[in-house]
Structure 1
Amino acid sequence: MYTLGIIGTLLLGACNQTVEKKVQSKNVDTVVVPKADILISEALTSEQQEKLTPDSVLQRMKKGNKDFTEDNLTVRNSTERVRRASLGQYPKAVVLSCLDSRVPVEDVFHSGIGNLFVARVAGNIINDDILGSLEYSCKVSGAKLIVVLGHEYCGAVKSAIDDVKLGNITTLLAKIQPAVQHAKASFKGKTTSSNPDFVAAVCDENVKESIRLIREKSPILNEMEKNAKIKIIGGVYDMNSGRVEFFN
């Protein structure tokens, strides 16, 4: 009943891979970097992470996204950051994102190696494994912010609206159905996947539903949020501008 095109939309982010060849240059140590571009070699340390607050991390994330959209990017010494990050990790935040390959989370927030945890699953849905990952990020490793990140034109959301049935995808899409029903209850207009406004409404509801489930199903994270140890926030990525619109 459903075309391969619908299925392909959902799985596109998981299936497309590109292979990059490393390019070595004998002159790598003599590259001239403009003075305005300071080479950043450090990942966050334990002491730096400890001083952060949830609100300050959110502001950093917003600033990083602004830099990304304006191509105001910092030059980073990736080799040195890899080495230093191997000694330990102290990320400032964890992002629960969709699987879509067009949403490169670290790039979107202009964040280097060792500064973000990223959990990815189609439709940025919540299950026990995702909850465990979020708890590890915050309770064990000290992340101060949870961002549930949806995005425009989400294939998982469209497939949930169309009620696609296919293998294990069926179970995954069922977790998005509450958002579909919530959106339908208040949306004025055509409630199909061909209506981009309705898809956007479901995407927003799906992010809110994931946040609700985090608070409901994780006493650990719920308590941390109530004690102002962390903040849980949602946002949606604009595919055209690269901007993340955070929810109030």
Structure 2
Amino acid sequence: MMAITCVDAYRTLRKGNENYVTGQSTHPNTDISAREKVVDGQHPFAVVLCCSDSRVVPELIFDTGIGDLFVIRVAGNVLDDAIIASIEYAVANLGSSLVVVLGHEKCGAVTAAVNQVAGGHLIALTDKINPAIDQAQQQDGDLVDNSIRQNAINMAEQLQKSAPVLRPQYEAKTLKILPAYYALTTGKVAFLKG
């Protein structure tokens, strides 16, 4: 499979989400031949960093199939070195031209951070989300929802600045890195910038 441009990857995800929202999903690349095509290698056109919440399933939300997306799931869609390295791998070695940081409505990790519920290892997540909460406190509206959106924006901005792999491609406009917000109630993905 030939790599697609970041603009085409963005359009494909938007169209796939439109299919999902309207109940017209096509479920592409889900048959036996699709499975067989990716046995010897993968070429996902996009990376999706999303929450591990069971209600957030990128392959369904964007109406994609086997080998289309490189999905990384972690509560609160936060970054660490292993996650950044995984994204770099997909971009540098697999040809992914789009990275989406997907926050979602009613995110438990962000809610825990807002409510300062941080027992055990949860503090490793909430510490990464706290800057978004600080910014969201200056915004009108619901603190949790604004924090979820701001967290996705912050993580995307960190990736845009990440050297040596991502920043040069982002600045050359061969790679898009976008924050987004998934509404559980409607299924709609809103791209927050870009």
Whether TM-score is above 0.5 comes out as: yes
For 2:132, the aligned partner's letter is A
For 2:20 and 2:163, the matched residues in 1 are separated by 32
Q: TM-score, normalised by structure 2?
A: 0.94
Tell me the secondary structure at the aligned position of residue 48 of structure 2: strand
Query: Which range moved further: 120-129 or 208-217?
Result: 208-217
Instruction: Kindly state the Cα deviation for residue 58 of structure 1 after the two structures are TM-superposed.
Output: 0.3
For 1:125 and 1:75, the matched residues in 2 are separated by 28
Which of 89, 114, 121 is matched with 1:168 structurally? Answer: 121
Instruction: Kindly state the Cα deviation for residue 219 of structure 1 after the two structures are TM-superposed.
Output: 2.8
Which of 145, 152, 155 is matched with 2:98 structurally? Answer: 145
Instruction: Kindly state the Cα deviation for residue 121 of structure 1 after the two structures are TM-superposed.
Output: 0.3
Tell me the secondary structure at the aligned position of residue 214 of structure 1: helix
Aligned to 1:112: 65
Task: Say whether residues 1:232 and 2:177 are aligned partners.
Answer: yes
For 1:83 and 1:170, the matched residues in 2 are separated by 42
Task: Say whether residues 1:132 and 2:85 are aligned partners.
Answer: yes
When the two structures are aligned, how many residues end up with a matched partner?
192
Q: Is the 8 A contact 2:153 2:192 kept in 1?
A: no
Tell me the secondary structure at the aligned position of residue 190 of structure 2: strand
Aligned to 1:71: 23
Q: Is the 8 A contact 2:169 2:175 kept in 1?
A: yes
- Provide, for residues 157-215 of structure 1, a one-character-per-residue CA deviation record: whole Å limited to 9, x for no partner: 0000011121111111111000011111x1346xxxxxxx2211001110111012212
Which of 117, 135, 160 is matched with 1:215 structurally? Answer: 160
For 1:115 and 1:153, the matched residues in 2 are separated by 27
Instruction: Kindly state the Cα deviation for residue 220 of structure 1 after the two structures are TM-superposed.
Output: 1.2
Structure 2 gaps of 5+ residues are none
Change in Cα spacing, 1:88 to 1:188, as seen in structure 2 (3 Å) is: closer
For 1:174, the aligned partner's letter is D
Tell me the secondary structure at the aligned position of residue 157 of structure 2: helix
Note the 1:76-91 alignment, pairs <5 A: 76=28, 77-91=30-44
Instruction: Kindly state the Cα deviation for residue 141 of structure 1 after the two structures are TM-superposed.
Output: 0.9
Tell me the secondary structure at the aligned position of residue 176 of structure 1: helix
Q: Is the 8 A contact 1:131 1:218 kept in 2?
A: no
Segments ≥4 residues shifted beyond 3 Å: none
Give the structure with higher Rg (CA): 1
Q: CA RMSD in A?
A: 1.3
- Provide, for residues 115-141 of structure 1, a one-character-per-residue CA deviation record: whole Å limited to 9, x for no partner: 110001000001101100110010111
For 1:235, the aligned partner's letter is A
Structure 1 gaps of 5+ residues are 1-44, 190-196
For 2:83 and 2:127, the matched residues in 1 are separated by 16
Tell me the secondary structure at the aligned position of residue 236 of structure 1: strand
For 2:140 and 2:43, the matched residues in 1 are separated by 45
For 1:110, the aligned partner's letter is D
Identity of aligned residues (%): 35
Aligned to 2:14: 62
